[in-house]
């Protein structure tokens, strides 16, 4: 039987009808092979954005994207392979801390990460702020390092879910990014292709997240876990707060430096970051069979930091992937980190809120991120927040230090960061960073 014409599928989805798994597969395969033009796929994506995809369609789309390229076989590596994925946020350097912790505890972590776009940062950009660090390992090298060290940190290769790479680029320029089924299929097609046995999802919710409402974040978590279950992978989602930047550093090297600090056990003033990191690590260790429960996994993760095992694992991975280990042991040795300006508090009071979205977009303008994929990134650009939500401030106190080569714009950057702060006469309650946990058994809070 001949495959349906793309225009027929566009019409069907435009009119609110379901599209069969076979037809979706045929469409994705044809688009990946350049047999369907961008303008027709754009029309289908917009129809899906407006009319939605049901659970069967979302699973079928994920499967088609997954099998558009290589699905890795990691059965040669002993142990239960577990990865983590975050839906993105400002100051979210959790993967950089968590992955070495989990690997040091005996769970292999095959992590394929992405780059930053818009107000959110990307793990690859942060890793590449380490001089000479390579994220472009071959599949063979990826497998070997995972077997040798229990951890590998690379970017998406040409072999992994090529349909997703094409579709994501198209969604980015057609206004169809913020669609839960499309987001879920994109995330899960890449993660399932890694050869994992289990997956922990960090679904961000708040002003600095792609899912700003709790209802949308819950729907995304449920969709992601459902897809994982459909494909026979143990999957857990944690919904975490992303209203203010996570930690104090925003930008690639500033976040890398803060991650190294955390791996060395220097976590004073970083309760929000470490609460999220340890909770996710506990889930990974539980899925990986190294902890009797997620709570027991949290204690094991903390021990990996305290013993130095997590930091040692990270240093070995940096060395294996060609990075300059000198700056891991001595972050101050990294060239190019001269403060360019300081933001002063305009009044005395307490920090009531910090607008993560505003901070993230300012960091992009400073050179730390990209507005389009082709934008260059300054690895040392960014900022460090000296005052976090709930902390007391006296007029004139430094709120943040800025790092940027675009010194002519320092007044505008300083103003934007100052405006991202909300001060009040009384301290707010400490924000709850962990908003919910979802498995196929349902939500727990």
pLDDT score at 172: 77
Strands 421-424 and 349-354: antiparallel
Look up the pTM and report it: 0.93
Task: Identify whether 164 is a catalytic site residue.
Answer: yes
Please check whether residue 110 is in contact with residue 76, taking contact to mean a CB–CB distance below 8 angstroms: no
Q: Could you say which of 166, 190, 191, 207 is catalytic?
A: 190
Q: Could you say which of 68, 95, 186, 414 is catalytic?
A: 186
Q: How far is CA 443 from CA 233, 234, 281, 323, in A?
A: 18, 16, 19, 41
Q: Could you say which of 85, 115, 233, 388 is catalytic?
A: 85
Return phi, psi of residue 444, to 5°: -130, 145
Task: Identify whether 190 is a catalytic site residue.
Answer: yes
Per-run averaged pLDDT (10 residues), the chain, 445 residues: 83 96 96 95 97 96 95 92 94 97 98 76 90 93 95 89 90 86 94 95 94 94 96 97 97 96 97 98 98 98 98 98 96 83 97 96 90 78 97 98 95 97 96 96 93
Task: Identify whether 17 is a catalytic site residue.
Answer: no
pLDDT score at 1: 47
Q: How far is CA 200 from CA 235, 296, 310, in A?
A: 6, 16, 19
What class, spelled out in words, does domain 6-52 have in CATH?
A: mainly alpha
pLDDT score at 38: 95
d(CA 405, CA 181): 39
Q: Could you say which of 23, 83, 125, 164 is catalytic?
A: 164
pLDDT score at 190: 92
The CATH homologous superfamily for domain 336-424 is Pyrimidine nucleoside phosphorylase-like, C-terminal domain (3.90.1170.30)
- Dihedral Cα 189, 190, 191, 195, nearest 10 deg: 100
pLDDT score at 216: 95
What class, spelled out in words, does domain 82-158+175-330 have in CATH?
A: alpha beta
Domain ranges of the chain: 6-52, 82-158+175-330, 336-424
Task: Identify whether 189 is a catalytic site residue.
Answer: no
Q: Could you say which of 165, 171, 207, 388 is catalytic?
A: 171
């Amino acid at each position: 039987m001949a495959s349906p014409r793309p225009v027929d599928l566009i019409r069907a989805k435009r009119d609110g009808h379901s599209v069969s798994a076979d037809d979706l597969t045929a469409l994705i395969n044809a688009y990946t092979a350049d047999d369907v033009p961008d303008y027709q796929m754009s029309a289908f994506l917009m129809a899906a954005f407006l009319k939605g995809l049901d659970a069967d369609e979302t699973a079928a789309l994920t499967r088609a994207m997954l099998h558009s390229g290589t699905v890795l076989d990691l059965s040669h590596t002993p142990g239960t392979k577990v990865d983590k994925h975050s839906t993105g946020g400002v100051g979210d350097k959790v993967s950089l801390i968590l992955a070495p912790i989990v690997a040091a505890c005996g769970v292999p972590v095959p992590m394929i990460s992405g780059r930053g776009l818009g107000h959110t940062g990307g793990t690859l950009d942060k890793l590449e702020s380490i001089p000479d660090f390579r994220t472009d390992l071959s599949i063979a090298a990826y497998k070997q390092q995972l077997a040798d060290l229990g951890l590998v940190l690379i970017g998406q290769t040409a072999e992994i879910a090529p349909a997703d790479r094409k579709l994501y680029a198209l969604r980015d320029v057609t206004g169809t990014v913020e669609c839960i089924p499309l987001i879920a299929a994109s995330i899960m097609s890449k993660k399932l292709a890694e050869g994992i046995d289990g997956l922990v999802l960090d679904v961000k919710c708040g002003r600095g997240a792609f899912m700003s409402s709790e209802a949308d974040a819950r729907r995304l978590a449920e969709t992601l876990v459902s897809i994982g279950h459909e494909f026979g992978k143990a999957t857990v989602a944690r919904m975490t707060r992303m209203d203010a930047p996570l930690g104090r550093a925003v930008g690639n090297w500033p976040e890398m430096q803060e991650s190294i600090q955390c791996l060395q056990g220097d976590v004073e003033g970083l309760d929000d970051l470490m609460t999220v990191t340890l909770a996710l690590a506990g889930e990974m260790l539980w899925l990986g069979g190294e902890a009797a429960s997620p709570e027991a996994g949290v204690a094991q993760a903390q021990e990996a930091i305290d013993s130095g095992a997590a930091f040692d694992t990270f240093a070995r991975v940096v060395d294996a992937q060609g990075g300059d280990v000198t700056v891991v042991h001595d972050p101050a040795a990294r060239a190019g980190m001269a403060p360019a300006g300081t933001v002063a508090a305009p009044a005395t009071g307490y920090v009531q809120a910090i607008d993560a979205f505003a901070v993230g977009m300012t960091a992009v303008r400073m050179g730390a991120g990209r507005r389009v994929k082709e934008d260059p990134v300054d690895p040392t650009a960014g900022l460090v927040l000296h005052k976090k939500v709930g902390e007391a401030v006296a007029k004139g106190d430094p709120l943040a230090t800025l790092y940027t080569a675009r010194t002519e714009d320092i007044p505008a950057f300083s103003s934007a960061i100052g405006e991202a702060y909300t001060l009040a006469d009384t301290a707010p309650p400490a924000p709850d960073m962990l908003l919910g946990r979802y498995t196929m058994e349902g939500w727990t809070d």
